[in-house]
């Protein structure tokens, strides 16, 4: 009996040691910076490079409150687990990066560790930023050091238990994070590799456009398959397409990313902000590189999802019939009787990915609160769609969406008035 007890104890100890080693994996290689506050003077070229990279990463979006000082942080980042608040990136000594050095900044991007050693929550996308090179990280830090110091304290996170514990964060990191470096693929072109670096690392596109599980992880099976943007009412559409992207479609995709509008589509919602603050400022060569990489993503069938508000067949027919008359009265003048829209102005609804998405969330959001494109050099005064929340009833909005999602070859599911009401 004593022998079995000792064997069980040995197994338990071995398991505990194994778990401990497993939990340390994401932090291997990390050491707290011992550097002094003195810093090497950055060159103008390094600062310009950093400005470009910070713009490519759209850092200002999360690190600026509405109407606040750019990069001063404290913008709420809602998650399914509670709310986090972005940090102050200005060089303020007390509340920002004033006491940080380049090593501290590198540790945050590469290892997901703050200056004081705290493990950072992955709402800060270090799972992508870990691919950023040390040279680029130093350039980004050099640029941020040139900003005007702004005193802005960061509101403490308000996460539910146990997500507010460092133990939970250590488990999450052990499951979903390993520090990495970007490695070029010699079998691919220089442009493809540049696009991969921008999409996977600096641009962190997968942070929104990949599906997540109940723990907030993004498994490989969900990579670029589209995902819900927590608490905002929008879905990030899949970047992995069902069919290959033709040369003509690739050219239109480049224009959509750079200018906010293409012949058949218009960026709206959160992506309009990305275009406005980030993508329109990138070099044409970098936009083309991103498109080249996106074209190479594995094709995957867009997953269907069951609606919490199913619509019986009889109600679907009634909604579609009513929706056709609503469409002709309120929508046809811009989007056309045939749903083809107007190039670079009003998006086509026939074959539209947003319209045909398994979830009608984006379409409902647009109908309720309007659709507004980004003002860009290519499209300085974009056309907008007015909100209909105070014009049409929930039933009328559900009806017109049901009609549009089944007209002109579209084959998406019907929309229940209850889905509109609870949006």
Q: Which token pair is 273?
A: 């902000």
Closest CA to 207 of 227, 192, 232, 181: 227
User: How high is the pLDDT of residue 140?
Assistant: 98
What pLDDT, in 10s, does the model give residues 374-397? 999 988 999 999 999 999 999 999
**What's the number of CA atoms in the CB half-sphere (13 Å) around residue 108?**
18
What pLDDT sits at residue 218?
78
**What's the pLDDT tens digit per position in 3-45?**
555 444 545 444 443 444 445 567 776 777 665 444 678 899 9
In terms of Cα–Cα distance, which of 109, 138, 132, 131 is closest to 46? 138
Alpha carbon 119 to chain centroid distance? 21
pLDDT of residue 4: 52
pLDDT of residue 314: 93
- What is the pLDDT, as a whole number, of residue 230? 72
pLDDT confidence of residue 15: 42
Q: Which residues are paired to 261 by β-bridges?
A: 266
Domain layout of the chain by residue ranges: 22-28+40-176, 190-295, 313-421
Return the bridge partners of 82, or none.
Answer: 79, 159
Element (H, E) at 399: helix 394-404
Q: What is the signed CA dihedral for 353, 356, 358, 359, rounded to 10 degrees?
A: 90
Q: 190-295 — its CATH code? A: 1.10.760
- pLDDT at residue 294 is higher than 70: yes
Q: What is the pLDDT of residues 236-246, one digit of tens each?
A: 888 888 788 89
pLDDT score, position 242: 76
What's 375's DSSP letter?
Answer: P
Residue 279 to residue 286: CA distance in whole angstroms? 10
278: pLDDT strictly greater than 70: yes
CATH class of 313-421: mainly alpha
Contact criterion met (CB below 8 Å) for 344 and 374: no
Mean pLDDT of the chain: 89
Strands 227-229, 82-85: pairing kind: unpaired
Name the strand (E) or helix (H) holding 24: helix 2-24
Section 182-203 average pLDDT: 97
Q: Is the pLDDT of residue 207 over 50?
A: yes
Helices 270-277/247-259 angle, 10° precision:
80
How far lies 413's CA from each of 26, 186, 242, 349, 404, in Å?
42, 44, 18, 15, 10
pLDDT of 197 > 50? The answer is: yes
> Over 37-61, what HEC string results?
CCCCCCCHHHHHHHHHHHHHCCHHH
**pLDDT of 409 higher than 50:** yes
Whether the pLDDT of residue 261 is over 70: the answer is yes
Query: 3-class DSSP state for residue 342?
Result: strand
C-alpha pair distances (Å), 381 with each of 49, 100, 137, 251, 388: 29, 41, 35, 22, 21
User: Could you give the 3-state DSSP secondary structure of residue 271?
Assistant: helix
């Amino acid at each position: 009996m004593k022998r079995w007890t000792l064997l069980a104890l040995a197994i338990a100890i071995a398991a505990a040691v194994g778990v401990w080693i497993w939990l340390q994996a994401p932090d291997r290689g990390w050491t707290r910076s011992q550097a002094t506050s003195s810093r090497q003077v950055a060159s103008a070229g390094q600062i310009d490079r950093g400005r470009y990279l910070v713009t490519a990463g759209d850092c200002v979006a999360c690190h600026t409150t509405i109407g606040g000082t750019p990069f001063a942080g404290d913008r709420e980042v809602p998650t399914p687990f509670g709310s986090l608040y972005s940090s102050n990136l200005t060089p303020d000594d007390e509340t920002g990066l004033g006491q940080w050095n380049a090593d501290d900044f590198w540790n945050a991007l590469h290892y997901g560790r703050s200056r004081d050693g705290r493990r950072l929550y992955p709402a800060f996308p270090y799972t992508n930023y870990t691919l950023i090179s040390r040279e680029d990280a130093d350039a980004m830090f050099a640029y941020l050091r040139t900003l005007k110091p702004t005193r802005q304290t960061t509101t403490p996170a308000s996460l539910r238990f146990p997500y507010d514990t460092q133990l939970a964060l250590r488990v999450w990191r052990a499951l979903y994070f390993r520090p990495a470096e970007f490695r070029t693929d010699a079998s691919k072109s220089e442009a493809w590799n540049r696009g991969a670096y921008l999409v996977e690392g600096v641009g962190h596109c997968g942070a929104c456009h990949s599906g997540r599980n109940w723990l907030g992880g993004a498994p490989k099976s969900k990579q670029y398959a589209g995902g819900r943007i927590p608490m905002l009412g929008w879905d990030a559409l899949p970047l992995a397409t069902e069919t290959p992207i033709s040369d003509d479609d690739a050219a239109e995709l480049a224009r959509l990313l750079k200018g906010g509008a293409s012949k058949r589509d218009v960026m709206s919602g959160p992506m309009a902000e990305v275009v406005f603050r980030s993508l329109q400022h990138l070099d044409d060569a970098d936009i083309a590189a991103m498109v080249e990489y996106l074209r190479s993503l594995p094709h995957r069938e867009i997953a269907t999802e069951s609606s919490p508000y199913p619509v019986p067949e009889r109600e679907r027919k009634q909604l579609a019939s009513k929706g056709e008359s609503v469409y002709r009265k309120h929508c046809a003048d811009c989007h056309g009787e045939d749903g083809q829209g107007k190039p670079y102005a009003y998006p086509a609804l026939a074959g539209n990915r947003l319209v045909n998405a398994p979830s009608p969330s984006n379409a409902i959001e647009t109908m309720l609160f309007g659709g507004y494109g980004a003002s860009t050099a290519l499209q300085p005064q974009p056309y907008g769609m007015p909100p209909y929340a105070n014009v049409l009833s929930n039933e009328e909005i559900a009806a017109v969406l049901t009609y549009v999602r089944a007209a002109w070859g579209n084959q998406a599911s019907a929309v229940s008035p209850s889905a509109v009401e609870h949006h």
